[in-house]
Structure 1
Amino acid sequence: MSVATQTRAGARRSARRTAARWEPLRVVISTAVVWLLLALASTSWWPVYQDGAMTTAAVTAVVAGSVVALGGALARLPAVVVGAATVAAFALTGVPAAVPGEAVGILPSGAGLLHLFAGVALDWKRLVTISLPVGSYESLLVPFFVTLLVATVTSVSVATRASRPELASIPAFVVFGAGVVVGPARLDVSIATAVALAGIALVWALTVRHVRRAAAVAATVGARVPVWRSVLRPALVGTGTIVAAAVVATGLGLVAPPAAPRTVARTDVVKPFDPRDEVSPLSGFRAYEERGTSDAPQLRVTGLPRGGFVRIATLDTYDGVVYRVGGSDDASPSGTFERVPTSVDTSGTTGTDVRVGVRVEGYRGVWLPTVGDLSSVTFTGREAEADRGAFFYDRTTSTGAVVGGVDDGTTYELRAVLPDQPSEDELASARPGTASVPTPTGVPDAVRERAGATGSGAPGSALLDAIRELQRTGYVSHGVGDDRTSRSGHGADRIQELLTAPVMIGDQEQYAVAAALLARQLGFPARVVMGFTAGGDSGGDSGGGAGPGAATSGGTDTTTTFRGSDVTARLEVDTAQWGWVMLNPNPVVREIPDEQDQTPEPVTRPETVVPPPPVEQQDQDQQAPPQSDRTTPPVQPLWLQILLAALPWVLAVLGLAALVLLPSAVVVSIKRLRRRRRRRAPSARARIVGAWDEYRDALLDRGHDVSRAATRREAVVGAPGEGGSGLAALADRSVFGPDDTDDGTADRMWSAATEAVRSLRDGRTRRQRWRAAVSLRSLTGESGWLGRGLLGHRGRPGRRDYHGPEAGERRGRPSEDDTP
């Protein structure tokens, strides 16, 4: 044996020993980098949950996924086995980590497993139709848990088994992007975090690339290369460049954030509750004053402060016919109702914290009576679970709703903040705020004329003057019993009649609407609030000590019974100093003067006003009671009920099947990419070697043992199928022959290789062919495409396929050491 041959053999043995020493270190370093990347990526999910349960789920997913991936790498398990182990780990750890309410200690329960697997398919939509944060509510942690678990298994497997471990950073970007998509519309994810994630991935990829290049050089020259010069120095230079770019990108992102509104999944998804589909509660105002209803209990409230106000709904959209909840989608953020899984953030509200208990008596409707700015609601009645799942809340208008409505016996507890309110003297200096409220349409001329008659003083002073004028000149009549004639409704013609009549007669329904329209003319964002208060703003004892809404005890521990006559409507205006301020524009109840000597002015309906539909102009005797506000869902056909009942199970099975088949699909895709890369090699000689490698990998995947020291002719001895010997001979002639190869030879080699691979499938069952297609032997085996370590090939360190002679190399018959 020549001296050169001995030197090359010694270099190979040295590289092989070096790779063996580096293999454990590679696993440790790669796994640690994957954990760091996944930890950074998981921060994009924190605005969604904001709960310690997310940390528990994250740690569980990373640990379980790492155990599965490292076990698969150590035992060289095929992708199908690793996928099955992932599903088993998901089922074993998913319930305690992602559905803790259904766990039995640290073990899953049957109901928990059902919610766990159904959540893989169903909880994504629920996650983007619920208000944030969700905490550990029901099974909404499942999307995060399954995403992180699959990402961990994939990343650790690629990092420890692939020839390009830097590709393991891709699942971390998927986790980060998924968190942004299902997250809030506001930018809660730090730009610096995103830049850091990309920077670490780039630094890792750069370092691994230089290590791989140094290993190839060491194997080629047959000697060690300096680590500092070949790895550390270029890696540090590249890292410095990446850090500089990251600093510049972070600075630009913080100084010049995007001007366009952020679009995520929850901004485009169709909400399950739309207030525009419901009847305005103000349309049924007079029904509370009917005989038999005015004295009937509606709500029993415990813990409400003296003089407190219970809100039914906030109405901010006026169209000349009716005031309703929620404007058009593009007009304002109002009308966006979301489920409240845990609590509502009221950190920006200054006021008094209260805890109020409510029991529904005669009240009916989809709108849930609340107090102040809601922090949380806890249902305790017999239908508590159903009411909890059907509760929606709009933070913009502080309005709650229960799909299907509430009825007698519904009980719940509210935690809320009563905002501090300015005094009347302070309001005189109030300036209009900047809240977005839909612009009213169909405003009658009388409103503009009265607003123009208030003078040119300060906006706050003009607003107070307009409200005082309503209280001074207005008279209250509900049109019930011996009261004077007072038409119901609050359309433009009714407000025009109210403001132009010689004697202004109406009730809270008309005065609140008129005050809101006047406030808008004076520049204040305004809306109408309907609710209950002791005495109903009728001039009685507002504290609940007398009248229909009498309290049974003093202080904040009172139990107040609100009756139908306690219903009222008020005005809310947005100010620059105090935010939303509630005002009472209603006159006190007093005797209405005689009109027989006064000639009323004719009522002229504005030309621009849309005539109200007949349903809104019912007579007092035909007006619908409060129960009409509750919608009755249509009866669904039997086939649709069966389909909806079976749909969660079908989606869960499909999600489980997709989870099981995902690893196999990845393996098949990688093999297709490998074949494509080989067939499109830049030289004809490289394409011939690639065709041989494709055939050799097919032998490995079908269980044929190919020794790492075997020549091509030795590799096909005893191989199944046909054409192997011819392929080996053609490849040897092309690589070691004296003449250069051409494209035609390469094409013939690939055609022969394709036929040889196809012949390997003859006589095999469908299951055997599938196992060969998803086998990892050719990817992670001793001579596998993905099986090379940091310092070269896992089976043959530093060894690469021979694509042609180097400069000065003598062509001829290969020796045993030179044959791949």
Structure 2
Amino acid sequence: MSIDATASRRSRAGERVTRQAADRPSIFGMPSRDSLVDLAFALALVTIALVGFRTGFIGWEWVLAAGAGVVIGTLVAHVAHVRSWPLIITALVLVVTHFVLGGPVAVRGDLIGGVLPSVQTFQDLAVTPVTGWKEWLTLLPPVDARGPLVALPWLTGLLGSAATYGVARRFANVGAAALAPVILLIGSIALGTQQPAAKLVQGVLFALVLILWLVARAARTRAAMQNGAGRQARTITSVALLVVAALAGSFLGQFLPGTDEGSARAVVRTELTPPYDVAQFTSPLSGFRRYTEPNSADLYDTEILRVTGLPQGAPLRFATLDNYDGLVWGAADRAMDGTPFQQVGSRIAPRSTGDPVTATVTVPEGGYQGAWLPIAGSTTGVRFTGTRSDDLADALWLNTATETAVVPALVQPGDTYSFDAVVDPRTWSDKLPKELDVASGGQVAEDTSFLDAKLDAWTGQAGSPWEKFAAVAKTMTQDGAYTDGGTANSYEKVYLPGHALGRLGRFVGSTQLAGNDEQYAATLALAGNRLGIPTRVVMGAIPASDGAVKGKDVHAWVEVQEDNGTWHALLPSTFLPDRNKKPNEQQLKSEEQKVGAQVPPPAGVNPPSVLQGPDQAQNATDIKKKKRNPLDISAWPLWLKLLVLALVLPLLLALTAYVVIRWLKSRRRRRHASTGPTPSRAAWVWRDLVTDARSLGIVVPRGATRLEQATAFPESVAAEPIATGANLAVFGPGDPEPEVATALLADADLVRRELRGSVSRWRRVRSDFDLRPLLERDRRKRTDGRRLPTLPSIRRARGAEGTA
């Protein structure tokens, strides 16, 4: 081989290297035209996909977090492409970016000085991407966008934009660029709510933008001589097809099955059952006599709550009781329409119209205690203050269909909280309405046929279901008597508490109705459902004019469902007799002689004690505490968990990845040199050496011959003999011996070690993490999927022709 030929090859290789370096944009310089096109389309597609978070969060904070994530993720992907970072290095940079910038951008609640992340910030950023998705899906949507969950749109934008732009710049395949944005779109829809975020934007606009991007990328792979031919015709045809597709998707798509407003949208959120059961808490109606007089609790004249900011006459709701099991009216885990109790944050999306109010509730000493949180109207936000604020706020459950809130940590004397609500005075009545458009369909499964005889007598000639219901309420007010059971020596002691079927059967079976709110409200609700009107019981209080709530202000009333789906409250004054109207003693004695003394109803489930925690019984028997296992992570202090999570665990993962990637590369090189035809083995030895050289930062031209590529190696490295040996094995006469590929592999390993010794240690580590050698594929494949003929087969064919 002449010196002039070698110099000519080195010159041509140098020209290719210079041209490839010119095509690669610098970090601070102007990106190339293709880079700008990919950048614009990537930003547009990721932004459209993230619109799906709109129905899952309330507030603008999530928009800022997602937008910042998209911009920063794109910037990281651009730098990674320019600097040829391996995938593992890019991933580590994204992780560091998440922890360093995630606090100021997304999780801003516990920042030091409003800028620097704190230990709590790092903990939120580490835990939320793992457990936050389940928490977000089980919370009542839309979720308050001012807590740790904002890290979800921030991280999605960061990783989604980095993946979309990074894949587009690193891979020339046209369809590869569509993978990340399509996954983002599907994920945002599946994790959204039953209310679509933006049908036209995520349906039509996303498809149009994606098609345009794929067309632009496909034009780059077309041969240079074909790019100009027919460009105008192709452009007109593409625009026409896009217009037709957009019009079809916009106007005809709404007639497809499942797109009508009545169809339920299948999303992940609806398939999850919140892991909470309110049946563990006793119905507050069972303890109604705690607030009456006389009573050992002495709450009748005791202030149990202090409410400010609530309109005069607005009822304060303890709990809505919409399930009757024959023993008690209790709160169902899911309302009649299937709405479950869901955990909520400090802000809740409004669900009705009315007057917005902000009320503050204080629990004085010796006052209210229980799991049911007193609220009013349609709640739009709850904020706890005081020493137990975090414990109460961490587990606040709300049923939006019944407007009932539960706090498992129990509301206790000394607690203070504020709630925002929408209050509509038209939703309650202290006088029985003459007309009311009520819905139809009872919701009580128990047999209440014992009411039929009394309903016939009470309703008389009433026609419509509401007229019959009103007649029952009027009969209770006019003919009934009020009693709380009286003292131990009083004749009223025979009127026992409870509202089981047996107790209510005796209540309506007496000549004179006699009881308090518990019996009257429970019976009226059963009567309403018997008449075909959805009716439920509410336990609550009506604050005095000064905002004080005493035991005597606690009442039970009923709600009936109107024809438009809303619930109308009928306060106690609409069906309860005057408190001073006591039962007739003579009539009571006469009935006792006929029927016998009243028998107490069967005892229900006792409520959990407020003085003893759920696990104190077990702790009382387990006096000697068991020694904790040092390997038990739950026993570690917080600082040790954070140290392992932030330092030790990433180092172990990085070390494991380092060892696994190096082993896979070595195994791949040996397999290439030992399997298949010998020419293919020799070709793979050179191809693997070139790929490893590129990962070490050596610019080896693509599309050049092996000898031209060998000139790009440092002069101190003997790469040209390996290229010559590979050429002889591929293009030489006959099939070489398998030992030729093995010898070339040994020589290539020596060159590989020399190359690694000529670069810095940091460059060697980056090369070891580079996954591109594992992704290298045989480029001798046609686009139609059929393999091109190998050189040995060509030589055999030529030999056959010569023989012929």
Scaled by the length of structure 1, the TM-score of the pair is 0.76
1:490 CA drift (Å): 0.9
- Partners of 2:439 and 2:327 in 1: how far apart? 26
Change (3 A) 1:526 1:653: farther
Match for residue 489 of structure 1? 498
Q: What are the superposed Cα offsets for residues 151-175 of structure 1, whole Å, 9 maximum, x if unpaired? A: 2222222222322365233222333
1:396 CA drift (Å): 0.9
1:360 CA drift (Å): 1.0
Alignment of 1:569 onto 2:577? no
Alignment of 1:345 onto 2:350? yes
1:318 CA drift (Å): 0.7
Change (3 A) 1:495 1:189: farther
The counterpart of 1:693, out of the listed 670, 687, 704, is 687
Match for residue 615 of structure 1? 604
Match for residue 28 of structure 2? none
1:366 CA drift (Å): 0.5
1:35 CA drift (Å): 0.6
- For structure 2, the residue ranges without an aligned partner over 5 or more in a row are 3-7, 26-31, 620-624, 780-787, 800-804
The counterpart of 1:200, out of the listed 204, 209, 221, is 209
Alignment of 1:318 onto 2:324? yes
- Partners of 2:102 and 2:445 in 1: how far apart? 53
- Partners of 1:164 and 1:398 in 2: how far apart? 54
Change (3 A) 1:596 1:42: closer
Change (3 A) 1:727 1:323: farther
TM alignment of 1:203-214, pairs within 5 A: 203-214=212-223
1:96 CA drift (Å): 0.8
Match for residue 782 of structure 2? none
- Partners of 1:703 and 1:786 in 2: how far apart? 22
TM alignment of 1:31-180, pairs within 5 A: 31-103=39-111, 104-164=113-173, 167-180=176-189
Question: 3-state DSSP class of the match of 1:595?
Answer: helix
Match for residue 785 of structure 2? none
Contact 2:219–2:227 (CA under 8 A) maintained in structure 1: no
The counterpart of 2:411, out of the listed 379, 392, 406, is 406
Give the letter aligned to residue 592 of structure 1: P
Match for residue 354 of structure 1? 357
Match for residue 449 of structure 1? 453
Change (3 A) 1:314 1:663: farther
Q: What are the superposed Cα offsets for residues 120-145 of structure 1, whole Å, 9 maximum, x if unpaired? A: 32322322232222343321111221
Change (3 A) 1:338 1:462: same
1:416 CA drift (Å): 1.6
Contact 2:51–2:198 (CA under 8 A) maintained in structure 1: yes
Alignment of 1:227 onto 2:228? yes
Change (3 A) 1:188 1:35: closer
- Partners of 1:507 and 1:200 in 2: how far apart? 67
Q: What are the superposed Cα offsets for residues 568-616 of structure 1, whole Å, 9 maximum, x if unpaired? A: 11000111157210113322221322315744775999xxxxx975336
1:666 CA drift (Å): 13
Q: What are the superposed Cα offsets for residues 610-664 of structure 1, whole Å, 9 maximum, x if unpaired? A: x975336xxxxxxx7x984788332588759961766974677799679979999
Contact 2:706–2:723 (CA under 8 A) maintained in structure 1: no
Alignment of 1:595 onto 2:587? yes
Contact 1:99–1:138 (CA under 8 A) maintained in structure 2: yes
1:687 CA drift (Å): 9.2
Question: 3-state DSSP class of the match of 2:560?
Answer: strand
Identity of aligned residues (%): 25
- Partners of 1:476 and 1:58 in 2: how far apart? 61
Match for residue 482 of structure 2? 476
Contact 1:77–1:776 (CA under 8 A) maintained in structure 2: no
- Partners of 1:15 and 1:724 in 2: how far apart? 17
Question: 3-state DSSP class of the match of 2:547?
Answer: strand
Scaled by the length of structure 2, the TM-score of the pair is 0.77
1:252 CA drift (Å): 5.0
TM alignment of 1:164-313, pairs within 5 A: 164=173, 167-190=176-199, 192-214=201-223, 218=224, 224-227=225-228, 229=230, 233-234=233-234, 237-238=237-238, 240-251=240-251, 253-255=253-255, 256-257=257-258, 261-289=264-292, 290-291=295-296, 292-313=298-319
Alignment of 1:368 onto 2:373? yes
1:528 CA drift (Å): 0.5
Change (3 A) 1:687 1:761: closer
- Partners of 1:532 and 1:366 in 2: how far apart? 16
1:532 CA drift (Å): 1.1
1:706 CA drift (Å): 5.2
Give the letter aligned to residue 341 of structure 1: S
1:270 CA drift (Å): 4.7
* Structure 1, 683-692 or 105-114: larger mean CA deviation: 683-692
1:409 CA drift (Å): 1.2
Match for residue 615 of structure 2? 634
Match for residue 418 of structure 1? 423
Q: What are the superposed Cα offsets for residues 331-357 of structure 1, whole Å, 9 maximum, x if unpaired? A: 6424423223323313xx233333322
CA RMSD across the alignment: 5.1
Contact 1:69–1:157 (CA under 8 A) maintained in structure 2: yes
Give the letter aligned to residue 393 of structure 2: R
1:467 CA drift (Å): 1.4
Change (3 A) 1:84 1:598: same
Alignment of 1:386 onto 2:394? no
- Partners of 1:114 and 1:786 in 2: how far apart? 45
- Partners of 1:493 and 1:95 in 2: how far apart? 60
Question: 3-state DSSP class of the match of 2:35?
Answer: helix
Alignment of 1:499 onto 2:502? no
Q: What are the superposed Cα offsets for residues 439-485 of structure 1, whole Å, 9 maximum, x if unpaired? A: 32323322233345535612222221121122222211111323612
The counterpart of 1:397, out of the listed 395, 399, 402, is 402
Contact 2:286–2:328 (CA under 8 A) maintained in structure 1: yes
Match for residue 608 of structure 1? none
Give the letter aligned to residue 551 of structure 2: G
Match for residue 26 of structure 1? 34
Match for residue 527 of structure 1? 536
Change (3 A) 1:201 1:336: same
- Partners of 1:30 and 1:663 in 2: how far apart? 30
Contact 1:30–1:165 (CA under 8 A) maintained in structure 2: no
Contact 1:364–1:627 (CA under 8 A) maintained in structure 2: no
Give the letter aligned to residue 60 of structure 1: A
* Structure 1, 683-692 or 52-61: larger mean CA deviation: 683-692
- Partners of 2:359 and 2:745 in 1: how far apart? 77
Change (3 A) 1:516 1:666: farther
Match for residue 519 of structure 2? 510
Question: 3-state DSSP class of the match of 2:349?
Answer: coil
- Partners of 1:660 and 1:136 in 2: how far apart? 33
Give the letter aligned to residue 389 of structure 2: A
- Partners of 2:705 and 2:13 in 1: how far apart? 19
Alignment of 1:432 onto 2:427? no
Q: What are the superposed Cα offsets for residues 477-532 of structure 1, whole Å, 9 maximum, x if unpaired? A: 11132361211111111111111111211111111111111111222211100011
Contact 1:496–1:603 (CA under 8 A) maintained in structure 2: no
Contact 1:44–1:189 (CA under 8 A) maintained in structure 2: yes
1:268 CA drift (Å): 3.8
- Partners of 1:785 and 1:511 in 2: how far apart? 81
1:279 CA drift (Å): 1.2
* Structure 1, 374-383 or 636-645: larger mean CA deviation: 636-645
Question: 3-state DSSP class of the match of 1:184?
Answer: coil
Contact 2:55–2:195 (CA under 8 A) maintained in structure 1: no
Contact 1:166–1:204 (CA under 8 A) maintained in structure 2: no
TM alignment of 1:604-683, pairs within 5 A: 613-615=602-604, 628=609, 632-634=613-615, 639=628, 643=634, 649=642
Q: What are the superposed Cα offsets for residues 181-213 of structure 1, whole Å, 9 maximum, x if unpaired? A: 433244344254134323322331233123212
1:319 CA drift (Å): 0.9
Change (3 A) 1:304 1:70: closer
Give the letter aligned to residue 449 of structure 1: A
Higher relative contact order (CA 8 A, sep 6+): 1
Contact 2:320–2:537 (CA under 8 A) maintained in structure 1: yes
